[in-house]
Amino acid sequence: MSILVRTIHRLFVIEMKEKYDKLLSKTKEIQVVGEIQQLMGWDTEVMMPKGAVMQRSEQQAYLAMHNHHKQIDPEIGILLKEIKEDKEFENLSFIEKRNIYLIQRDYDKATKVPPEFVAEFTKASVIATEVWKEARKENDFAKFLPHLEKVFELSKKLANYLNPDLHPYDVLLDFFEPSMSIEKYNEIFNPLKEATIELIRKCNESPNKPDKTIIKRKVPLNIQEKISLDIMKLLDYDLERGRLDTAAHPFTTGSYDDVRITTRYLEDNFTSSLFAVAHEGGHGCYDQNIAKEQRYLPVGNYCSMGVHESQSRFYENIIGRSKSFWWYYLPRLKEISEEIFKDVEYKEFLLAINRVEPSLIRVEADEVTYNLHIILRFELERDLFEDKIKIADLPELWKDKMKEMLGVDVPNDSDGVLQDIHWSGGSFGYFPTYTLGNVYGAQFFAKLKQDIPDWNEQLEKGNVNVLTDWLKKNVQEKGNLYDPPELVKEVTGEFLNPNYLIEHLNEKYSQLYEF
């Protein structure tokens, strides 16, 4: 190669690098503004005075529109086009190409949505969320109805902007979980629904009944706070880069070195906060454990909501409700709680916290019945977007489905259709990712057991990090290097297989209930 050719080649490489670096600087700005939005969202739920809701809706609408303007900056489109058409494009690394792909995907979505719609949607969802809080407290669905109808119509409008040729619910499902659709969820949920109903029947018919009074013992809030902090430390949630607060609905927000989680405390149900903290702690660890060298790159974000839920559900259930964990932790719980659980035996405690009991509230549901709560919401959302039902029908349809699927009578809307915050924020299509997270998590667990045959013995000794380190290395640090199907294949050696969850639940609960 002549000196002239080498010089020209170097110039092309330098020019490519300058364009690539400029593109990354623009996406970093978008993420930083997004972090400010998350922080304001946290403040809205945790600290904001009630009377500030209208003012906050204006602030968040402004930030959303400001960030949207950054997302649709025409220079991003120009840089993407020039980089992809450059003869040096094929010489980029896997991570560089993945970054380009993710930027292009986000840019294509953002440019389809008008800025004024972003502001309208954000403002409507902030107001709807505050009205939902009041409606739930007052058991008044009629108060919430017009706001929910507005958010739903805006969600349909968003789906139409993103892809007018697809079923609107498919668009939103893919928005939260790339590659997912109604058809794919049906393929997973239908056999899971059937298997779950059968497993519930077997547990109900077992003579081995849990002592529910153990869970109902009153635990003062100051002791629950001590338990929460202890659980967080065991799960390796870094309190130097996070914090725990209370909110109407437990949630996690933030990234990297500022990841915040919340819980809620019930004096006569200490497991509510215990498992909420384990669940949100799983989310928090994922956000804290993204590889440092990937921060503020497109690959330096979480893979998807389903994968995020796989971590929270893994920490909550596969670790937090396991017999190995409680062999270690029950003595520690007795010490922290002083006299409250001193007379409780290991076997009866384990069955009590793993009791299979159809109930009203999703976030309080056990590991088995939980998936039916999600499938119920998925079916309602699906039917809404297919115009088979109306928003006003939801309270009665909710009651009918709860009776049909879980055999539970719903006494009021506060414990029924009003129990979740998600719809008020416009998160239609989010709910299915919870059960998808269970499916991912069970498949990850099957691979972990192959890689670490003595995992249960380690857990019995309190070496929780044996499991959390495996998750950190195999899932969390990978960030958004792969789309969900490819990540599952990369981690486990095969694509998604829902049978792992069915097998996990049947094996665990046949042992607990002795059938």
- Residue where the block lists tokens 């709680």: 337
Distance, CA of 130 to CA of 128 (rounded, Å): 5
pLDDT computed for residue 248 by the predictor: 83
DSSP 477: G
pLDDT computed for residue 249 by the predictor: 83
- Residue where the block lists tokens 């725990």: 244
| CB half-sphere exposure, 325, CA atoms < 13 A | 22
Residue 364 contacts residue 272 (beta carbons within 8 Å): yes
Report the DSSP beta bridge partners of residue 254. Answer: 259
Would you state the structure tokens that stand for residue 56, as one six-digit string?
């906050």
pLDDT computed for residue 4 by the predictor: 42
Centroid of chain to Cα 117: 25
DSSP 93: -
Q: What is the pLDDT along the chain (515 residues), one digit of tens a residue?
A: 555 445 444 544 679 899 999 999 999 999 999 999 999 999 999 999 989 999 999 999 999 999 999 999 999 999 999 999 999 999 999 999 999 999 999 999 999 999 999 999 999 999 999 999 999 999 999 999 999 999 999 999 999 999 999 999 999 999 999 999 999 999 999 999 999 999 999 999 999 999 999 999 999 999 999 999 999 999 999 999 999 999 988 999 999 999 999 999 999 999 999 999 999 999 999 999 999 999 999 999 999 999 999 999 999 999 999 999 999 999 999 999 998 999 999 999 999 999 999 999 998 899 999 999 999 999 999 999 999 999 999 999 999 999 999 999 999 999 999 999 999 999 999 999 999 999 999 999 999 999 999 999 999 999 999 999 999 999 999 999 999 999 999 999 999 999 999 999 999 999 999 99
Would you state the structure tokens that stand for residue 423, as one six-digit string?
């719809």
Report the DSSP beta bridge partners of residue 243. Answer: 260
Instruction: Say which residues have a Cβ less than 8 Å from residue 259's Cβ, sequence separation at least 6.
Output: 241, 242, 252, 253, 284, 287, 288
According to DSSP, the β-strands at 252-255 and 242-246 are unpaired
Distance, CA of 427 to CA of 173 (rounded, Å): 10
Would you state the structure tokens that stand for residue 328, as one six-digit string?
């270690």
Q: Is 85 a catalytic residue?
A: no
Instruction: Say which residues have a Cβ less than 8 Å from residue 465's Cβ, sequence separation at least 6.
Output: 236
Among candidate residues 45, 280, 316, 379, the one labeled active-site is: 280
Would you state the structure tokens that stand for residue 418, as one six-digit string?
């009003």
CATH number of the domain located at residue range(s) 182-513 in this protein? 1.10.1370.30
Residue type, 302: Y
Would you state the structure tokens that stand for residue 366, as one six-digit string?
């056990």
Instruction: Say which residues have a Cβ less than 8 Å from residue 39's Cβ, sequence separation at least 6.
Output: 253, 254, 258
Residue 258 contacts residue 287 (beta carbons within 8 Å): no
What does pTM read for this prediction?
Answer: 0.93
Hey, CA dihedral for 145, 149, 152, 158, is it positive or negative?
negative
pLDDT computed for residue 364 by the predictor: 86
